[in-house]
Chain A
Amino acid sequence: NAGVTQTPKFRVLKTGQSMTLLCAQDMNHEYMYWYRQDPGMGLRLIHYSVGEGTTAKGEVPDGYNVSRLKKQNFLLGLESAAPSQTSVYFCASSYTGTLNTGELFFGEGSRLTVL
């Protein structure tokens, strides 16, 4: 019963490097989200997806790109990492349907440090 799984859990990058965070969910959820969590600021939505092949911008999308090629996977990419992107990144998913409660399920987080 994996739920939402994020890889990698830790990563250190140098400024200007690129990387991709992978989120996988096994609950057949339609909606998936990427958040970042910074001290004292709560969680902020970066991008989200309401279904396979669709993505949309959240509150803080600049510097990030996403893709949802398969329903169970949601990828977050950093093309040219900056120190301001040092953060903990969380993926979440939620169900939709006639019994939609909108409950969010979170992964364990990916801690990214950009030097």
Chain B
Amino acid sequence: KQEVTQIPAALSVPEGENLVLNCSFTDSAIYNLQWFRQDPGKGLTSLLLIQSSQREQTSGRLNASLDKSSGRSTLYIAASQPGDSATYLCAVRTGGFKTIFGAGTRLFVKA
């Protein structure tokens, strides 16, 4: 059974710092991995999607990597800003139609 874990559960950093959020999964047989952002009381916004055949994806200050063999993905945020404060969710899609979510990392960027 696929399980997705995100560490740390919460993170507080000063503005301008580069940071890494971690996601691990137990079964390497995945279809894709998607990173989301969720603001309080809001829905999930897709940030990056990495297909199983890819190693990384980049969008602006965000870079996500995928290492299927070790069951890990990282989301790198460069030059963090207070507006980056949110909960970041990692989600792994299996070969079927099911996507398993981690519990998320709550990020707070201090001005």
Which A residues are closer than 8 A to B by beta carbons?
4, 31, 33, 35, 40-45, 48, 50, 56, 58-59, 90, 92, 101-109
CB distance from A21 to the nearest CB of B (A): 14
Within 8 Å CB of B4, what residues of A?
Answer: 42
Within 8 Å CB of A33, what residues of B?
Answer: 97, 99
Q: How far is the CA of A3 from the CA of B40 in the complex (A)?
A: 20
User: A103 to B42, Cβ gap below 8 A?
Assistant: no
User: A106 to B43, Cβ gap below 8 A?
Assistant: yes
Within 8 A of A (CB), among B22-43: 31-32, 34, 36, 41-43
Given contacts A102-B31, A102-B32, A104-B91, contact A41 B44 (CB under 8 A): no
CB distance from B53 to the nearest CB of A (A): 12
Q: How far is the CA of A51 from the CA of B46 in the complex (A)?
A: 23
